[in-house]
């Protein structure tokens, strides 16, 4: 497939799948998220020959759960694999992302770092003397990957901080079972900040390419060990799409992580970063249009790792 074909493919993809947005709904549990327009649809492909984009790839949105991948990388690098897996497990779960049930009935550790409970536990492992310092480790990595400064959406951050009762319940439960280090409110603050980092679809494709090249920036600088990258992408396969990860593995077959603001970060190991944006979500919290577009691209470009 030649270079111009990528552009044609992405444009076609957006055109043909955009209408599936009508099957989904924009997330409303965080008031600020309701502002997303369900008709937006974008797709971006980062290749060794540069970035290709189709549709609404330059709307800013918040990372939400996609941030879990970044924070996991930081925690693995800063604290090591053993310290991380002392606080969080590595198993997929059939429960929804904000479920608290398994914390009580299973191994008394959040099942994996991609569900909220696990991601909060991972957050607590990020070192630093203040929330600001800890947060800079996360944004620092992102800024090096994207080669630009990043900021958060203050309104979303405040909104999540005020209304995130379920996450607060998870955090206190984690504290009780000794899976959360340090001060609960500080960890939650860090978690809400990382969820509020602003990116666009093109950024996500760049992040995907960073993962696809095992932690090497576009400028050729190695930032993260290949082993940490491998761990993160493995979790993206087994648990990256909430409790629809199994179906996504079958239908699309690439490591991916979705967020409730409508983004999906995809990795085609050794080849591409691929990302989609579309705020209309299905019942499990994944972008309806995003999944359709990724499925199409996976078939046309043979992206499945399976």
Q: Which residues bind a copy of itself (CB under 8 A)?
A: 89-95, 99-106, 111-112, 165-166, 168-173, 175-176, 184, 230-231, 233-235, 237-239, 243-247, 249-250, 253, 255, 269, 304-306
Nearest distance from residue 274's CB to a copy of itself, in Å? 17
What is the Cα–Cα distance from 104 to 177, expressed in whole angstroms? 9
Provide the 10 A C-beta neighbour count for residue 100: 16
User: Is 214 a catalytic site residue?
Assistant: no
User: Is 260 a catalytic site residue?
Assistant: yes
Catalytic residue (one of 26, 199, 252, 260): 260
Between 57 and 245, CB nearer to a copy of itself = 245
Q: How far is CA 120 from CA 79, 125, 248, in A?
A: 15, 9, 24
Nearest distance from residue 247's CB to a copy of itself, in Å? 5
User: Is 191 a catalytic site residue?
Assistant: yes
Provide the 10 A C-beta neighbour count for residue 145: 23
Strand order in the sheet with 42-47: 50-55, 42-47, 272-277, 263-268, 256-258
Q: Is 240 buried (19+), middle (13-18) or exposed (0-12) by CB count in 10 A? A: buried
Between 49 and 165, CB nearer to a copy of itself = 165
Nearest distance from residue 21's CB to a copy of itself, in Å? 24
Between 18 and 102, CB nearer to a copy of itself = 102
Catalytic residue (one of 43, 68, 102, 109): 68
Provide the 10 A C-beta neighbour count for residue 295: 17
Catalytic residue (one of 26, 43, 65, 102): 65
Catalytic residues: 65, 68, 191, 242, 260
């Amino acid at each position: 497939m030649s270079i111009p074909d990528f552009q044609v493919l992405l444009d076609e993809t957006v055109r043909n799948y955009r209408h599936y947005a009508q099957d989904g709904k924009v997330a409303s549990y965080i008031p600020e998220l309701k502002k997303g327009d369900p008709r937006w649809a974008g797709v971006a492909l980062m290749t060794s020959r540069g970035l290709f984009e189709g549709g609404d790839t330059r709307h800013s949105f918040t990372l939400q759960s996609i941030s879990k991948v970044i924070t996991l990388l930081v925690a693995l690098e800063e604290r090591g694999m053993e310290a991380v897996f002392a606080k969080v497990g590595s198993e997929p779960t059939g429960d929804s992302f904000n479920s608290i049930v398994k914390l009580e009935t299973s191994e008394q550790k959040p099942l994996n770092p991609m569900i909220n409970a696990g991601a909060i536990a991972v957050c607590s492992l990020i070192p630093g003397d203040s929330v600001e310092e800890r947060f800079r480790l996360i944004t620092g990595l992102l800024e090096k990957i994207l080669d630009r400064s990043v900021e958060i959406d203050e309104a979303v951050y405040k909104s999540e901080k005020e209304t995130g009762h379920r996450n607060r319940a998870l955090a206190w439960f984690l504290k009780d079972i000794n899976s959360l280090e340090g001060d609960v409110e500080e960890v939650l603050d860090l978690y809400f900040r990382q969820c509020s980092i602003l990116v666009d679809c093109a950024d996500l494709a760049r992040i995907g390419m960073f993962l696809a090249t095992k932690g090497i920036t576009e400028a050729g600088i190695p930032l993260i060990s290949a082993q940490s990258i491998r761990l993160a992408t493995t979790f993206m396969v087994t648990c990256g799409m909430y409790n629809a990860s199994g179906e996504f593995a079958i239908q699309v077959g690439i490591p991916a992580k979705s967020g409730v603001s409508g983004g999906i970060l995809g990795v085609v190991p050794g080849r591409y970063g691929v990302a989609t944006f579309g705020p209309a979500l299905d019942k499990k919290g994944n972008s309806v249009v995003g999944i359709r577009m990724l499925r199409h691209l996976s078939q046309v470009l043979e992206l499945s790792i399976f």
